[in-house]
Amino acid sequence: MNIQSKIIKALLAALLVMAGIMAYAASTGQLTTLPQNIAGAAAVPFQKFTAVIGNKLEVWSDRNLNIDNIIRENEKLKKDLAIMRSKQIEYDRMAMENKEYKELLGIIDDISQYSTVDANVIGRDGMDKFYSFTIDKGDKHGIGVNDVVMTADGVVGVVVETGPNFARVSTILSPAVSVGCIAGGERDVGIVTGSYDLSESNICTMHYLPKDTKVKAGDIVSTTGYGSVFPKDLIVGTVESVDIDSAGNSKVAAVKPAADLTGVKIVFVITDFS
C-alpha cells in the first residue's frame, strides 16, 4: 500500500467519524451547537492555562507591590531615625552647654568680686602642641591681653592677643605662661609653667619648690595672687609626682591641670579683679 492510499483511507476514516458525530448530534438535537461545543472543548485547556498565568501574575504583582511598600517604609524609617539622631545630638549639646554654664555661674558666684565675660571656643591652632585656641569675644567686650581664662574646673590660660570680636588664648601647658602657685599643707610656693616635653601628656610643671617640701601626689595646686595677672586661690591642678630638679637645689612637681585644656568649649575671662 502506497502512501497516497494511506492518506485517502485516513481521510475517509476521519469523515466517517465526523459523520457519526453529526448523526449523533442530530438525533439529540445538538447539531446547531456542535461547532460551539467543539470550540469550547478546544478552548478549555487554553482557558485553564491563561487562568493559571493570570493568577501567578496577580500574585507576582501583589508581591512586588508589597516589596515596594516595604522599601518606601524602610526609607521613611531611615529618614525619621536620622532626624531623631540629629535632635538627640542637638539636645545633648544643649544639655552639656547648660551644665557648663551652670557650673560657670556657680564659680562666678564664688568669685563675684571679679568682672568676667563668658565666651565660646571657636577655633584651635592644630600646629600648636600647647592647645592654644580662639574665643568669640574680644576687646569690644572688655577683654585684654593677659586676662585670665578659666572654666568651672580651674585655670585654662591667659589671653595673648585680641581683636574686636575675638581673642587668642595660650594655655598653662605653654612655656610662655607662668603662674605663681602654692601647694601642700604648708602652702609651699612655686612657679607653674608649661614644658615642651610634657605638654603632649597634658602635664605642666611646678618649679622652685623647697628641697624639704612636704608637697606630694594628690595635693591641690592654686594661685598665690602675687603679681598683677592671676587672682589668688584659683584652682590650677593636682600634683602627680614630685622629684628633685636637675640642679639638685630644689624640687619640681608634675601638675595635672584641673581644666580640660584639650577639649574645652566654654570659658569665662576675668577682665578685672582689683
Q: Provide the domain limits for residue 228.
A: 116-272
Q: How does residue 34 score in pLDDT terms, banded at 50, 70 and 90?
A: very low
Q: Check pLDDT > 90 for residue 191.
A: yes
CATH number at 191 reads 2.40.10.350
Question: Which residues, listed in sequence order, are joined to residue 124 by a DSSP beta bridge?
Answer: 133
Q: Cα–Cα distance between 49 and 83 in angstroms, integer?
A: 51
In a domain, 22, yes or no: no
In a domain, 83, yes or no: no
Q: Check pLDDT > 50 for residue 80.
A: yes
Listed range (10-14, 185-189, 259-263) with the worst mean pLDDT:
10-14
Q: Report the chain's terminal Cα–Cα distance, integer Å.
A: 138
In a domain, 8, yes or no: no
In a domain, 188, yes or no: yes
> Whole-model pTM?
0.60
The arithmetic mean of pLDDT across residues 120-142, rounded, is 93
Residue whose entry in the numeric block shows the C-alpha cell 501583589: 62
Q: What is the pLDDT of residue 219?
A: 93
In a domain, 110, yes or no: no
The arithmetic mean of pLDDT across residues 207-235, rounded, is 91
Q: Check pLDDT > 70 for residue 157.
A: yes
The arithmetic mean of pLDDT across residues 119-132, rounded, is 91
Work out how many domains the chain is built from and give that number. 1
Q: What is the pLDDT of residue 249?
A: 84
Residue whose entry in the numeric block shows the C-alpha cell 590660660: 157
In a domain, 220, yes or no: yes
* Cα 235-181-190 angle, rounded to 5 deg: 150
Q: What is the pLDDT of residue 53?
A: 57
Mean pLDDT of the chain: 78
In a domain, 33, yes or no: no
Q: Check pLDDT > 70 for residue 256.
A: yes
In a domain, 175, yes or no: yes
Q: What is the pLDDT of residue 15?
A: 57
Q: Check pLDDT > 70 for residue 86.
A: no
Q: Which string of DSSP letters, residue by residue, matches the chain?
A: --HHHHHHHHHHHHHHHHHHHHHHHHHTT-TTTHHHHHHHHHHHHHHHHHHHHHHHHHHHHHHHHHHHHHHHHHHHHHHHHHHHHHHHHHHHHHHHHHHHHHHHHHHHHHTTTSEEEEEEEEEE-TT-TT--EEES--GGGT--TT-EEE-SSSEEEEEEEE-SS-EEEEETTSTT-EEEEEETTTTEEEEEE--TTTGGGT-EEEEEE-TT----TT-EEEE---SSSS-TT-EEEEEEEEEE-TTSSSEEEEEEESS-TTT--EEEEEEE--
Q: What is the pLDDT of residue 148?
A: 96
Q: How does residue 72 score in pLDDT terms, banded at 50, 70 and 90?
A: confident
Q: What is the pLDDT of residue 216?
A: 94
Listed range (44-48, 156-160, 161-165) with the worst mean pLDDT:
44-48
The arithmetic mean of pLDDT across residues 11-28, rounded, is 55
Q: What is the pLDDT of residue 248?
A: 81
Q: Check pLDDT > 50 for residue 39.
A: no
Percent of the chain with pLDDT over 70: 63
